[in-house]
A and B are shown apart, each in its own frame.
Chain A
Amino acid sequence: MNKKEEKTEKELIVAKIDNGIVIDHITPPGRAFYALKALNIDENFPHSVFVAINLPSRKFGRKDLLKIRNMKREDLNIEKLGLLISGSNIAYIKDYMIIEKEKIKTPKRISGVIKCPGLNCITSRHEDVDPEFIVLNEHQPISLRCVYCDAIFNVHEHISLML
């Protein structure tokens, strides 16, 4: 990338937000789309959302970044984010100031956030049970094992099963 291109990309970075969250260091680039899904941000979301894809990053080469106005810690399912964008950092913003920072970690076990793709799994039927999984590996691509049917699958290939 030449200096002119780099400068242009830096200029694209959006302004600070007054209240809400900033999720930075989302890698590999493109994962911000998964995070938006996990955060249930769609056309009905009432607040401003800034999405930056493929930003230059000294540490990672390329990264994504999200700024979401008026979203709070209690609105987040950190475990769900941990399946999709572990390693990213969340900053909680109040009155333009960072009041808390948190690194998103991969959970060891997870329940009720994604359906099991196993066609013959009891959790895929109308039963009194939440799908539950053991996380097999800490790093991307994360794979899960259903504690009911033992099926092993890659989370990113089954994003549509997110609850």
Chain B
Amino acid sequence: MVDNQVLSTSHLVAIRYLSEHDILRILDYATLIKQHPSNFHDRLKGKILALAFWEPSTRTRLSFEIAMLRLGGSVTGFSSSVGTSLEKGESLSDTITMLANYADGIVIRHPLRGSAKLAAEIAQKFGVPVISGGSGSQEHPTQALLDIFTIREFFGRLTGLNIALMGDLRYSRTISSLLLALSKFGRNTINLISHPSLRLQEELRLDLQETNLELIETEDLSDVISEFDVLYVTRLQKERFPDPMLYQKVKGSFQLHPSLLKSAKDRSLILHPLPRVDEIPYEIDRFPQAKYFIQAKNGVYIRMAILDHLLGDESVE
């Protein structure tokens, strides 16, 4: 029997509020779901999940929707302000208050930092759990959980790994959450590969100071190409560069070239939160290390585990 009511929190708004124990429970539960998905088909029967997406999304929104459907529940919500009262300027506070009156759980994606925490505080009054699907450049906790689920599935551990993160490390919420998640475990070496203007946020650096992560900065992937166990690539966003010319100039430095990958370890992983633009060309998909679509698929199991933990009523046999 697996106890599904063991998280120390009734919401999931940021990795920083989860303990190592919480994370492992979610990963273990997702493993069980992945092994026997049919055992979970009616876990959330009769429950309704509201998806409140102020920002565009493909994978996060659809995988939450599919996860809920696979657990026997239903889904409602919005995926842009078009056709809703958001166009009339309705606040997040009022929107969440309304959804907490309608639904059994809420997934929120919003462009502002702190949005998921505020939503959780509001929905708490109604006993309705809130799950973050991304809060500005701050955190994307369910992405980090599916990332480390994929890493653990492949290596069988979350310590003693050499992990290279490449691309936009400053504004990428997936990078923030992934580093915070890895920091809950043992020693790992983290190679940070980015343009100087896109290095880690100072706030995040402060959070990581007292952890077991060994952070090494570089601007060149070839420095670490033969060493990494995991290469995690993120998309460079043109709008993050103060000068469009600078973007054009540096973007090539943070693209993965098939020729470079020949020096990589056979037993290593290339991950990407997706969507990609041109930082990982299609040729890379044929390399055995390319696992980003398996990573995306794991998102469904992780989100099923989270939904069951937060919206489910009882333990499962």
Contact = CB atoms under 8 A, between A and B. Distances in A.
Interface of A: 118, 120-123, 125-129, 145-152
B113 A149 contact: yes
Interface of B: 91-94, 110-115, 117-118, 121-122, 136-138, 202-203, 206
Interface SS majority for chain B: helix
Nearest to B115: A122
A38 to B, nearest CB: 25
B122 A148 contact: no
A78 B110 CA distance: 35
Interface SS majority for chain A: loop
A125 B92 CA distance: 10
Nearest to A147: B117
Given A120-B136, A151-B203, A152-B206, A127 B113 contact: no
A122 B206 contact: no
> 5 closest pairs, A vs B, by CB?
A148-B114, A149-B113, A128-B93, A122-B114, A149-B114
Given A128-B93, A147-B114, 12 more contacts: A118-B113, A118-B114, A120-B136, A122-B114, A125-B112, A128-B122, A146-B114, A147-B117, A148-B114, A149-B112, A149-B113, A149-B136
A148 B118 CA distance: 7
B88 to A, nearest CB: 13
B91 A128 contact: yes
B203 A126 contact: no
B93 A120 contact: no
A150 B113 contact: yes
B91 A120 contact: no
28 contacts: A118-B114, A120-B111, A120-B112, A120-B113, A120-B136, A121-B113, A122-B110, A122-B112, A122-B113, A122-B114, A122-B117, A122-B118, A123-B114, A125-B92, A126-B91, A127-B91, A127-B118, A128-B93, A128-B122, A129-B93, A129-B118, A147-B114, A148-B113, A148-B114, A148-B118, A149-B136, A150-B138, A152-B203
